[in-house]
């Protein structure tokens, strides 16, 4: 199952593991890359030394290609410097203008990709010289850039930036979704939520349990978790905290219950307040279910804990079967 983008990136399969905050560490990215897809290491918040260490740890675990990811809405200069030193095959950017970074990474041989949420943003990214764009539909987990669902967004972006390769994201949690986005003209699927319950993801067990239990209708898109990143909407599992906020009429910041309360601690002891935009990693202790349990609508298709390689194998098998069914329908 090789698209032109697979050849460009040296992949066996058109699957890219999304940057999924602290849940995507070296173990997950390496397992995905070793399985023939593309792993992504997220670095936002790791600083220069932390980024260097994590990239080195990834390189110890795989000889294959990988991506490194930062969110441009944060101050990530140190992370970008560490990335420039490490020369990753693919630089994955989100939530900002890629223009100031394209030349720097092209000069060292890295390809550059931006996740976008609209046709307009995709066109601006193409003009800025990125090598590919990710069209992220509104179903996606984590922070959500636009308002249009994948089925409508992906073909619109494909048409708008052709011949630039487009990768589809949002709601793709099995091989039927992969086959669907390839049919829409995408050259790969970027998959986040499906990997949250993978054995290699750095997600807290209480977070995994919620992901495994949730159905497609159990996620909420809102700006509730604004601590550290005000105004950025995201999609999470509807926990008791989220349901209580909805029941209270979705009060604005400043009027929400328990604001400023410390509800958990990171492994270095630093406090995590209610409504803070963090990812519930294994090492966090406290009221995990009140943290933002980021997940997309494809969460309903995540049914058991699996290794990342098994997930990729299963998705590829399902996509092949879906495409064979399509070929049968057309008699080809």
- Cα separation, 235 vs 254, in Å, equals 21
Least Cβ distance, residue 330 to ligand FMN (angstroms): 29
Least Cβ distance, residue 293 to ligand FMN (angstroms): 8
For residue 211, give every residue at least 6 positions away whose Cβ sits within 8 Å of its Cβ, in sequence order, or none: 193, 196, 197, 203, 237, 293, 295, 299, 302
| Residues 44-73 within binding reach of ligand FMN (CB under 6 A) | 44, 69, 71
Per CB under 6 A, 43 contacts ligand FMN: no
Nearer to ligand FMN, 138 or 245 (CB): 138
- Cα separation, 9 vs 210, in Å, equals 34
Least Cβ distance, residue 297 to ligand FMN (angstroms): 7
The label of the residue with tokens 């030394």 reads: 49
Pick the binder of ligand FMN from 118, 136, 290, 306 (CB under 6 A): 136
Least Cβ distance, residue 17 to ligand FMN (angstroms): 9
Pick the binder of ligand FMN from 6, 9, 13, 21 (CB under 6 A): 21
Nearer to ligand FMN, 98 or 142 (CB): 142
C-alpha distance from residue 260 to each of 216, 227, 256, 257, 273 (Å): 31, 10, 10, 9, 6
Per CB under 6 A, 141 contacts ligand FMN: yes
Number of residues that bind ligand FMN (CB under 6 A): 30
For residue 246, give every residue at least 6 positions away whose Cβ sits within 8 Å of its Cβ, in sequence order, or none: 220, 238
Q: 188 and 15 in contact (C-beta within 8 Å)?
A: yes
| Residues 301-330 within binding reach of ligand FMN (CB under 6 A) | none
Stretch that binds ligand FMN, among 82-90, 132-140, 310-318, 320-328 (CB under 6 A): 132-140
Task: Report which DSSP code applies to 262.
Answer: E
| Residues 254-283 within binding reach of ligand FMN (CB under 6 A) | 279
Per CB under 6 A, 23 contacts ligand FMN: yes
Closest CA to 66 of 81, 83, 49: 83
| Residues 72-131 within binding reach of ligand FMN (CB under 6 A) | 94, 115
Give the β-pairing of 262-265 and 234-237. unpaired
The DSSP bridge partners found for residue 68 are 41, 91
Nearer to ligand FMN, 36 or 171 (CB): 171
Q: Build a one-symbol-per-residue string for 176-205: x at contacts with ligand FMN by CB under 6 A, - elsewhere.
A: --------------xxxx------------
The tokens describing 327, both together, are: 């070929």
Helix (H) or strand (E) holding 82: helix 77-86
Residues that bind ligand FMN (CB under 6 A): 18-21, 23, 42, 44, 69, 71, 94, 115, 136, 139-143, 169-172, 190-193, 279, 294-296, 298
């Amino acid at each position: 199952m090789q698209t032109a983008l697979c050849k460009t990136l040296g992949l066996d399969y058109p699957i890219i593991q999304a940057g999924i905050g602290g849940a995507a560490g070296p173990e997950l990215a390496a397992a995905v890359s070793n399985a023939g897809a593309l792993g992504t290491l997220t670095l936002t918040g790791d600083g220069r030394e932390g980024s260097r260490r994590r990239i080195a740890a990834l390189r110890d675990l795989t000889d294959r290609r990988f991506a490194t990811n930062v969110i441009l809405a944060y101050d990530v200069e140190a992370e970008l410097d560490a990335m420039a030193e490490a020369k990753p095959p693919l630089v994955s950017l989100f939530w900002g203008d890629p223009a100031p970074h394209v030349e720097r990474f092209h000069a060292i041989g890295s390809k550059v990709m931006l996740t976008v949420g609209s046709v307009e943003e995709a066109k601006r990214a193409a003009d800025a010289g990125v090598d590919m764009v990710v069209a992220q539909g509104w179903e996606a987990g984590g922070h959500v850039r636009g308002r249009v669902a994948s089925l409508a967004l992906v073909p619109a972006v494909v048409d708008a930036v052709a011949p630039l390769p487009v990768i589809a994201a949002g709601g793709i949690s099995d091989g039927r979704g992969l086959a669907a986005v390839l049919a829409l003209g995408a050259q790969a699927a970027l998959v986040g939520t499906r990997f949250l319950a993978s054995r290699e993801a750095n997600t807290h067990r209480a977070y995994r349990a919620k992901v495994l239990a949730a159905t497609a209708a159990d996620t909420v898109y809102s700006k509730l978790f604004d601590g550290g990143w005000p105004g950025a909407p995201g999609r999470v599992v509807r926990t008791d905290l989220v349901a209580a906020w909805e029941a209270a009429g979705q009060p604005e910041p400043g009027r929400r219950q328990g604001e400023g309360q410390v509800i958990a601690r990171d492994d270095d002891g630093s406090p995590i307040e209610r409504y803070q935009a963090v990812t519930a990693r294994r090492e966090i202790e406290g009221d995990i279910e009140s943290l933002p349990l980021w997940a997309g609508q494809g969460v309903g298709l995540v049914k058991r804990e699996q290794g990342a390689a098994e997930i990729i194998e299963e998705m590829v098998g399902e996509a092949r079967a879906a495409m064979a069914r399509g070929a049968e329908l057309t008699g080809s």
